[in-house]
């Protein structure tokens, strides 16, 4: 009898032991977001929820960015991958000792950001910002882009009144006349205004010149990790690409996975916005590219060439900082 019980106990424990052994075999990967979870990140949450990472032999942990930023965390090797944007990344590369990171995938294929304003205030183009208030992060690249756009439109940037951007609710700030204009991503700020029936105007940077149609956001990889573990990096990006392809084809289901996977619970009260944003942004993940994640070298260089020619970087960053080598080949 004792022998039978021992055998039964062993059989019952076998799945538990097998699962633990399988978990031990997974390769740990830390992925650091650039902000609280939003629809830019949906493909990663979909890959997690659908088991794509586990199928690839990976145990992926999604973490929030530290106070000093996701790029520094990735460069320090505390995360193998993180999220940033090509414009922000310039500061990491424009150094005598560049940070050890490389952009390995484009989350969106085009720059979907622009300036939102109250409808009727006349800010339907850069020229309309003359004499108006703009809420700024005081970033040299941000301000140079605005100056360039306004001068191209025959306007004087020095006639814009700049105030600090401490706004978290862009449509609400416009409605309350806290400011006249704010830089937003269309897929969140502009769509959010529409859902709340706050009438706004919007113009976008990418339509004003190919130089400003840069990649935002992008996924960064730590250079040492990429060099020492290229197959793990490729496995991560192949699973991530599957997640973004799924999100492109199944916006509603992917939005539910994003909300369910958000351990900050910041999206629980924004379900309507997440659904609407996801419906719009799903078409932007691949857009006109051959597949998700692919960088066009000419477009990458167009922005960094523009930064250099406008004395916004000390080094010519064209041809560096990105790679298509770790993306799926099929």
The tens digit of pLDDT for each residue in 293-321 reads 999 999 999 999 999 999 999 999 999 99
Cα torsion 301, 305, 306, 312: sign: positive
Kindly state the percentage of the chain with pLDDT values over 70. Answer: 93
pLDDT in tens, 186-232: 999 999 999 999 999 999 999 999 999 999 999 999 999 999 999 99
Neighbours of 240 (CB within 10 A): 30
Using CA atoms, how far residue 84 sits from 148, 193, 194, 210, in Å, is 23, 25, 27, 20
Residues 6+ apart with CB under 8 A from 187: 39, 40, 112, 277, 280, 281, 284
pLDDT in tens, 67-78: 889 999 999 999
Average pLDDT for 108-117: 97
User: What is the pTM for the complete model shown?
Assistant: 0.90
């Amino acid at each position: 009898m004792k022998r039978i019980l021992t055998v039964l106990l062993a059989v019952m424990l076998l799945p538990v032991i097998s699962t633990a052994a399988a978990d031990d075999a997974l390769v740990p990967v830390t992925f650091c977001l650039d902000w609280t979870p939003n629809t830019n990140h949906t493909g990663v949450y979909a890959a997690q929820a659908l088991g794509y990472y586990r199928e690839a032999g990976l145990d992926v942990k999604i973490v929030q960015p530290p106070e000093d930023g996701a790029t520094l965390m990735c460069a320090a090797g505390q995360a193998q991958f993180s999220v940033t944007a090509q414009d922000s990344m310039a500061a990491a590369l424009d150094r005598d000792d560049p940070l050890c990171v490389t952009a390995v995938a484009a989350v969106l294929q085009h720059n979907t950001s622009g300036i939102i304003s109250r409808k009727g205030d006349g800010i339907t183009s850069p020229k309309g910002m003359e004499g108006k208030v703009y809420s700024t992060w005081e970033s040299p690249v941000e301000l140079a882009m605005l100056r360039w756009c306004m001068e191209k439109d025959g306007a004087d940037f020095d006639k814009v009144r700049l105030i600090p951007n401490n706004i978290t609710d862009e449509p609400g700030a416009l409605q309350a006349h806290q400011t006249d204009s704010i830089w937003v991503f269309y897929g969140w700020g502009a769509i959010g205004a529409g859902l709340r029936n706050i009438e706004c105007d919007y113009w976008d940077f990418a339509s004003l010149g190919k130089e400003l149609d840069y990649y935002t956001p992008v996924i960064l990889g730590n250079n040492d990790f990429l060099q020492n573990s290229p197959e793990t990096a490729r496995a991560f990006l192949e699973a991530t690409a599957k997640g973004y392809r799924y999100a492109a084809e199944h916006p509603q289901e992917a939005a539910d996975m994003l909300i369910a996977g958000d351990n900050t619970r910041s999206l629980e009260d924004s379900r309507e916005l997440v659904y609407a944003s996801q419906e719009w942004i799903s078409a932007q993940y691949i857009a006109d590219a051959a597949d998700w994640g692919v960088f066009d070298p000419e477009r990458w260089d167009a922005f960094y060439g523009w930064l250099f020619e406008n004395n916004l970087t000390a080094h010519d960053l064209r041809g560096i900082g990105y790679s298509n080598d770790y993306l799926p080949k099929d």
